[in-house]
Amino acid sequence: MPAQVAPLIYPPPHRNEGVNKTSVPQRRSVQELSNYYFSSSVDKISNLDEPACFRQQQQQQSSFDNTSLSDGQNNENEGKSVSYHLSLRSSRCFNCLLSLRTMLIVGGILIVLITAIAIWTTCFVVNITASNEQMQVMLNNLKDKVGKILDRELLVAKVASNLIVEDYYDGRFEMNDSSLSYLFNKMKIFLVTGVTFCFGEQGLNLLYGYTQNSDGSLLMARKYQNESNLYVYEANNKTGVPNYSKQVLSKSYLVNETDYYVESISVLRTQNHPDQGVFGSIYQVLNGPLSLYFSTPVYNKTQLDHDLQQERNYSTPMLIALKEKARIGICKINLALDELSRLISSVTVTTKGFIILSEVGNNNSIVASSVEPLRSENEASPMRRLSFSDLPVADILNILLTLQPDEHLLDPKRNGIDQSSEIFTISNYLVYSSLYTFENTIKWRLTMAVDSYEVNQGVIMSVYITIAVTAVIVTIGMIVSALVGWFLSDIFLTLQSDFKKVEMLDLQNIMPRTSLFTEPNNIYKSLTETVAWLNEFKSFLPDSVLNHIESEGEHPSPPPSQTHGVPTIKVDSHPRRSKDFNENATTTTTQLDKKLVDLTKSIQSIDRHSLTSSTHDSPFTNATEGHSLFKIGLVSKECYLVFIAIPDMNESRFDHPQLLSNVICKVLNTISTLRKTAKADLQIRSHQEYLLVFNGEKAHDKALELSLKFQAAIRAINDSFRDAFLVSNNNINVMARNSVTVQNNNKNVADRGNPSMCNSSTDDSGGNTNSDLKAFISVTSGECLQGNVGGKTLRYFAIVGELVSKALDMITIGKRLNIPITVDSKTFLQARLAFVMRPCERILCRKKRKQFISFKHGFHAHLDANEDAKSVHQSQIETVYQLIRRNAVKDDEWLYELDQKTENEKHNSFTQQFHDIFLGNSKKGDESYESFMELLQSMKDSEDGMLLAHRLEYILTHPYHKNLNTDDGREDETNMDMQPPPAANDPDFSLYYTTIEKSVASFLKGHLMTLK
């Protein structure tokens, strides 16, 4: 069945509904647009010479618009800020006194004066005190550093011992000669000086182990169950393989009677968790160095419950899987005290400073020290009771060795020790002593000493330098920095806590805050207002919220009072132009500007009469809160709409649903990427229709650029899916039969050569019959209602207004004339310098058609006595333009640049002559008319302009043909007796327009039926 289309030349008769004479407020957007177009700044940029005939009109119009705009803005700003200024007047002086800047300046001056008076008497004392405090901090840092070293070494011994026991339970080694390689590997991995795995209970007497001497040699010890002697052999340091030919020791040995075994068992019995192991006392390793050891009990693994062993969590120790714990031995890890001394010596104190680590107990043994190790007279003695009579540390060591077990710290009352703060002075040494503990089994005394001369020498020198050069600057800087840092840090910490709650949307726990000072108080006020705003926003997230927040951050929105008034359009005063346009635009555009004057007046009239919805007269908006996107209600707002329709993207075009799904997915991904780049709001109306909304600066440029990029993306999709886009054979056969029927029924009309807007390459939906997708885009600008509608459970961001209807009409025109991108007049005026466009059609404003009572031959039948028929009629007509490309040419491609210049001149000439005919008084026989007809003839050879050329040629050559109300071009039988009007020989094309209406037609066997 043929598709239903609108009349081509004359609109259908309307019912007599009367003319709406309700006065509406004028909008500033088109007036500002007109000011932009006729402003002197644009003239300087585009180098266009305006005719003197409307230069005076330009000045008058600009003067009126600027005055009205300035007055309106002043009134709005005064109404918004009058209460704020009144409140500021009363507290301005008080706030000035409480200013943070004032406090800092006055305080700094006072501090300088006071410091200058007291500096000479306090400098030395202050420096000494600061030096002592710094020394205290340094010693504390050294204590922490040494503590971390000891923690690391002791923890390594514990972890190594427990891991070996766990591996034994897991069966990774057995108690035989094969365990030697395992024990050697663990010793190398954990860098310990000795490892011993022995059984001494339940009738067992086994031992395997390694130990490393101070000279680096490695020894292996072995004790079999059926042997009474312990054998010690030399071993290879790299492989751990024992050299049985070099036996070091062979003696009778009972494991359960050794000192370390007896002590380990004794200490394990006193522990709450003996399974985790325990540290033992310092002892002399047989043929080895003095060492500290860690022991872990070993239980009989044959008593493990089989089911628990299979299902246990490997992060849990094996010991929990034992039904009955029967201890059979221990695993011992040795740490040589010489190694601890070496590690402590790596910590630098001062040039003559040293560190001593001693036990806390009856023997007060020296565990480790950064002093060169000295032996006692008895080399075999396990105690290191040393007497340093000839060393400067003798007094310190003698005191440490004579302390009682309960004296964890040095007692300043004993031995003539002088006390200075927490640092004690002994023999010209500053001594700092503290208690070191590890897992409640190790208690050592950590003593650090530094030479007081080294410390005082730096202090004395710094005192003189400070007094002479930097005393005042450093002191003032420190004090001021401390004050400012403390104050600012307090504010930032508070804000950090609140912002963390905002990040987690824990808005209920953010309390309003106040401050004594003006600046922080303003920050807290802003934060309180933001939290209140986010509380309203938290319940829902409209589709446009993210873009709104981002745009508000980059370009702050106007005050709420301004959003209630009439919105304005911000026009880019420096559009991007190509080199060829700057050189050749003067002659062409100057003539074009003469006709754009009438076009601008027409758009102003359309703006005043059609786009009348504002915040004040809309029943859906609130007078005080209508500007917020997070409120319920519609708000009148200036925007740019990009309507995208892809009629070919349906199930009849694809053989398989998966192919259609892939195409839709590609289209959606493309739109999503372009939307994020352009920061536009997206509404998906269906899988074939998409609506994008642009706001903010240069919105017209972003909208047009997105349209061109989307068309390029569609072409890329077609290239990638060209082989997959197959037309169903059933659809082809059906369409072929319909085409034959239509041609037979409309042969007479086809002979007349009428170029209908429904071209032969489109189907009922206006899409292509081939496999390629074809997108149609319309770009419109103006004012429409935007906002959230709904309730608490469901909210929807709606866009309502004539702008959407006009976008749909322009999509229909694009589909009928095979024009990919159509643009309305307002967008054309704003972007005509940056983009190449040409006119293609004229449409009647949809919203105001009901104001026309009836039409006859295109003229208004009943007009008000005070209105001219022609002016009223033209005020409702708007020109639609085709967007071709961006006006930019690469300079390095001179041949391409020359072709582009020629094309641009041709499009400019086409636009000028179109305006001469349809906006001016050019008639048949005029030079513009004849030149335009020649351009139409040349356009018939191009694929993109063929349908447009045929249509415009037919309109100009048959201006008063009988009405065509059907899609097949047949004459309406109800109007067969109509006669051309008296002015048929001299038609006025300024009254030409096209309407997009829905019609219903009935057919019987392919013939149109006239129904009453």
Please provide the DSSP assignment of 20-75 as one string. -----PPPHHHHHHHHHHH-HHHHHHHTPPPPTTTHHHHHHHHHHHHHHHHHHHHH
Dihedral sign for Cα 954, 958, 959, 962, please. Answer: negative
% of the chain beyond a pLDDT of 70? 57
* pLDDT digit string, tens, across residues 883-903: 999 987 666 667 777 777 888
Contacts of 427 (CB under 8 A, 6+ apart): 392, 394, 395, 396
Mean pLDDT of the chain: 69
Q: How confident is the model at residue 710 (pLDDT cuts 50, 70, 90)?
A: very high
For the chain, first and last CA: distance in Å? 21
Give the pLDDT of residue 242. 92
Q: Checking phi first, is residue 956 left (phi over 0); if not, alpha (psi -120 to 50) or beta?
A: alpha
User: 418 φ, ψ to 5°?
Assistant: -85, 140
Is the per-residue pLDDT at 321 higher than 70? no
Give mean pLDDT, residues 2-20.
37
Give mean pLDDT, residues 263-268.
89
Give the Cα separation of 713 and 868 in Å (integer). Answer: 48
| HSE-CB for 745 with a 13 A CA cutoff | 21
- pTM for the full predicted model: 0.43
Is the per-residue pLDDT at 992 higher than 50? yes
Q: What is the DSSP letter of 632?
A: B
Could you please report the per-residue DSSP string of 988-1007? -GGG--B-------EEETTE
Q: For residue 900, what are its two tokens?
A: 């582009």
Give the pLDDT of residue 168. 92
In terms of average pLDDT, the best of 303-307, 340-344, 385-389 is 340-344
What is the pairing mode between strands 776-790 and 821-823?
parallel
Domain ranges of the chain: 28-50+571-1002, 146-341
Q: What is the DSSP letter of 318?
A: G
Q: In 3D, which of 437, 454, 408, 433 has the Cα closest to residue 143?
A: 433
CATH number, domain 28-50+571-1002? 3.30.70.1230
The runs of H, that is alpha helices, within 372-420 are 394-402
Q: Choose the weakest-confidence range: 265-279, 628-642, 740-754.
A: 740-754
Q: Is the CB of residue 50 less than 8 Å from the CB of residue 43?
A: yes
Give the Cα separation of 49 and 39 in Å (integer). Answer: 12
Give mean pLDDT, residues 35-56.
36
Could you please report the per-residue DSSP string of 239-255? T--EEEEEEEEEEE--G
Q: Is the CB of residue 159 less than 8 Å from the CB of residue 296?
A: no
